[in-house]
């Protein structure tokens, strides 16, 4: 009797059945259980997942990121990041607000691009707008740091990302909502600045998760204003290409019963650590919690955030 192994391919490698039995599950079994909600970028359309002209991710040799703790890789100056390893009792892996790589690192891991990360935890669009965030980093400062470095990046192969709004909307609950439209315009203004000489940026990835899956009238108006502003830029600036990614779909799908956190492979929709200061008292199964530090995605969640970005770019054209 002739026996044979049933072979299959995982991540580009050929495995036999024996190896398959012990091969680790991708991303500890955490996976997307929702799909992008694709829309269009027009003067009147509501915010939705959309790719208005970005190239395939493999076309980009550099990813430049601006944002808050959801993008903060721990170095914040555009230089190489430290290893994404937690050294207890510090819960921050190489300075990140998570226990491993952030979503942007997932993108460059898939493409081989160089990551230049300027994001800083707690950042807002413009700290002058929010008395309660007067000492916070902001988009304005991050862009100025980038410009002051006189980076000589090829506009055709460089992708710039903006991920703001969480802390602006949070600040508006303390300081009032009057400045939220100004905050939205700040996003457009800073993107516009990057499109001008000497940077001449043309390719932008803009992400949002302002309400962690929930909505508010003021927050929705904030998101709508800068989404519409992206359309205006696409008509005003020759060669301007942009994608918008709305992480609300992940958060609302996971934190409600449709489909619920278990559908993603999680055993908990909460956090693993008790606070942001120490690993003391952490949960027994960090690989299957939605958050690592309270309010901050685990490394597995960051990986599916990267997966979601990739799906938007390929499906929402």
According to DSSP, the residues that pair with 164 across neighbouring strands are: none
With residue 13 as reference, give the H or E element that holds it.
Answer: strand 13-15
- pLDDT of res. 291: 98
Among candidates 106, 114, 34, which has minimal Cα distance to 300? 106
Question: What is the Rg, in whole angstroms, of the alpha carbon atoms belonging to the chain?
Answer: 20
Among candidates 157, 113, 123, 110, which has minimal Cα distance to 306? 110
Q: What is the pTM of this model?
A: 0.92
Token pair in block for residue 220: 């929705």
Among candidates 106, 128, 136, 108, which has minimal Cα distance to 27? 106
What gap in Å lies between CA 317 and CA 136, rounded to an integer? Answer: 36
What gap in Å lies between CA 303 and CA 100, rounded to an integer? Answer: 10
Token pair in block for residue 1: 């009797």
Among candidates 259, 264, 262, 284, which has minimal Cα distance to 273? 284
What gap in Å lies between CA 134 and CA 155, rounded to an integer? Answer: 33
Pairing mode, if any, of strands 289-291 and 268-271? parallel
Q: What angle do CA 308, 313, 316 make, to 5 degrees?
A: 95
pLDDT string in tens for the chain (317-residue length): 333 333 323 333 333 333 334 457 899 999 999 999 999 999 999 999 999 999 999 999 999 999 999 999 999 999 999 999 999 999 999 999 999 999 999 999 999 999 999 999 999 999 999 999 999 999 999 999 999 999 999 999 999 999 999 999 999 999 999 999 999 999 999 999 999 999 999 999 999 999 999 999 999 999 999 999 999 999 999 999 999 999 999 999 999 999 999 999 999 999 999 999 999 999 999 999 999 999 999 999 999 999 999 999 999 99
Token pair in block for residue 209: 């998760």
Residue pointed to by tokens 């955490």: 30
What gap in Å lies between CA 288 and CA 304, rounded to an integer? Answer: 13
217: helix, strand or coil: helix
What gap in Å lies between CA 69 and CA 121, rounded to an integer? Answer: 4
* Domains within the chain, CATH numbers bracketed: 34-315 (3.40.50.1110)
């Amino acid at each position: 009797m002739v026996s044979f192994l049933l072979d299959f391919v995982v991540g580009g490698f050929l495995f036999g059945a024996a190896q398959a039995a012990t091969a680790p599950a991708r991303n500890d079994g955490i996976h997307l259980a929702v799909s992008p909600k694709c829309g269009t970028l027009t003067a009147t359309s509501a915010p939705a997942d959309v790719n208005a002209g970005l190239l395939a991710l493999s076309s980009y040799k550099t990813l430049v990121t601006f944002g808050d703790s959801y993008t903060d890789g721990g170095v914040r100056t555009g230089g190489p990041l430290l290893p994404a390893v937690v050294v207890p009792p510090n819960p921050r892996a190489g300075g990140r607000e998570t226990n491993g790589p952030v979503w942007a690192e997932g993108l460059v891991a898939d493409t081989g691009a160089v990551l230049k990360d300027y994001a800083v935890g707690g950042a807002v669009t413009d700290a002058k707008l929010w008395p309660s965030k007067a000492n916070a980093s902001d988009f304005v400062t991050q862009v100025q740091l980038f410009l002051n470095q006189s980076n000589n990046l090829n506009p055709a192969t460089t992708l710039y990302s903006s991920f703001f709004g969480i802390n602006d909307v949070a600040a508006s609950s303390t300081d009032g909502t009057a400045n939220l439209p100004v905050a939205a315009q700040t996003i457009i203004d800073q993107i516009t600045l990057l499109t001008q000489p000497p940077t001449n940026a043309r390719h932008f990835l803009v992400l949002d998760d302002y309400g962690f899956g929930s909505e508010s009238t003021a927050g929705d108006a904030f998101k709508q204003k800068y989404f519409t502003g992206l359309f205006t830029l696409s008509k005003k600036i020759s060669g301007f290409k942009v994608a918008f990614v709305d992480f609300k779909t992940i958060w609302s799908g996971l934190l409600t019963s449709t489909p619920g956190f278990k559908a993603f492979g999680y055993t908990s929709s909460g956090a693993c650590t008790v606070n942001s200061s120490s690993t003391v008292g952490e949960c027994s199964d960090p690989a299957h919690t939605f958050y690592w530090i309270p309010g901050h995605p685990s490394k597995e969640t960051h990986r599916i955030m990267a997966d979601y970005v990739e799906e938007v770019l390929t499906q929402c054209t």
